Amino acid sequence: MILRFPGTRGEIEESSRRHTYNASLVVQTPKASVLIDLGEKYDPALEDVLNGFDALLITHAHPDHYIWTKKDASMVKIPVYLTRETFDYSKNKPRKYRIIDAGKSFSVQDLHITAHKVLHSFRCPAVCYKMKGLKQIVYAPDLIDTQEDKQKVLAGTDVLIADGSSLNINMVRRRNGKLFGHTQVKTMIGWCKKYRIPRLIITHCGKQIVTMDRDLLSKKIMEYSQDEIDVAIAVDGLCIKI
């Protein structure tokens, strides 16, 4: 399985050479090639290869994940997989679309995929994607927590690729008794330990990670992971084989 990161930046004003484009992920198996999320500020190099993917999967309708929230994107001709809530959110719609139900698995070639609801936003309900090829990965660029039992969503995962909006500051807000926002990398390292996920890759980087001194960031991550979990911060263009 090959993982490639065309972008690793969250919905923030700050940007750096490492984190220029909105977070998205390419997952490649011997038979399938899938792109997850296409935000407003996507890597322009994606345009040349966009219609070569078997599918585009969307996590939610925030504009850093779903370009249609801001404008029509008629250059996308491949099937776009998304929940009914995401599809209904914006006036612009993908041409070819597949409505998916959270919790119900589907396949794209040799990739077995399940969307699971996550707690993140009430206006734009979000899902994470669990994908099984030879390895199992979970891609959750925006979340406070999973809605279902984490054991059910995360057990058996080889690599968790998730929300870097905050390293260790509270980004959870409450309105009308409902929570929205983002969890912390520190908390996700705890999930990896609890659910025996050996590897965590941080993407969708927020202001704290984008602007933090690199040595201090490494030191903090080492302190939290205590060498039990392999934690890395993804940068735009990163490509790894798992």
Considering the complex, state which of residue 11 and residue 43 has its C-beta at the smaller distance from Zn ion: 11
Which one-letter DSSP state was computed for residue 111?
Answer: E
Q: How far is the CB of 121 from Zn ion (least distance, A)?
A: 5
Smallest gap from Cβ 156 to Zn ion, in A, equals 26
Is position 40 an interface residue for Zn ion (rule: CB under 5 A)? Answer: no
With contacts defined by CB under 5 A, how many residues of the chain interact with Zn ion? Answer: 4
Nearest alpha-carbon partner for 120 in 103, 101, 140, 142: 142
- The interface region with Zn ion, picked from 50-58, 103-111, 142-150, 207-215 by CB under 5 A, is 142-150
Binding-residue pattern over the window 58 to 97 for Zn ion, x denoting contact by CB under 5 A = ----x-x---------------------------------
The letter for the amino acid at 238 is L
Please, what is the minimum distance in Å from the beta carbon of residue 124 to Zn ion?
6
Would you count residue 37 as binding Zn ion (CB under 5 A)? Answer: no
Judging by DSSP bridges, how do beta strands 159-163 and 136-140 pair with one another? parallel
CB 92 within 8 A of CB 63: no
Q: Which residue number, 23 or 229, has a Cβ lying nearer to Zn ion?
A: 23
Of 23 and 108, CB closest to Zn ion: 23
DSSP sequence for 70-90? TS--TT--S-EEEEHHHHHHS
Contact (Cβ atoms closer than 8 angstroms) between residue 33 and residue 52: yes
> Which residues, at least 6 apart from 24, have a Cβ–Cβ distance to it below 8 Å?
5, 6, 7, 35, 36, 37, 38, 39, 42, 43, 46, 65
Shortest distance, position 56 Cβ to Zn ion, whole Å: 16
Q: How far is the CB of 175 from Zn ion (least distance, A)?
A: 15
Interface stretch with Zn ion, choices 56-64, 154-162, 187-195, 213-221 (CB under 5 A) = 56-64
Which part of the chain contacts Zn ion (CB under 5 A), choosing from 57-65, 101-109, 111-119, 171-179? 57-65
Determine the interface stretch with Zn ion among 46-54, 66-74, 93-101, 139-147 (rule: CB under 5 A): 139-147
By DSSP bridging, strand 111-119 and strand 126-132 are: antiparallel
H or E segment to which residue 3 belongs: strand 2-7
User: Given candidates 37, 40, 142, 163, which one binds Zn ion under the rule CB under 5 A?
Assistant: 142
Tokens of 195: 């659910």
| Residue 163 sits in the site that holds Zn ion (CB under 5 A) | no
Please tell me the total number of residues recorded for the chain in this structure.
242
Which residues would be at the binding site for Zn ion (CB under 5 A)?
A: 11, 62, 64, 142
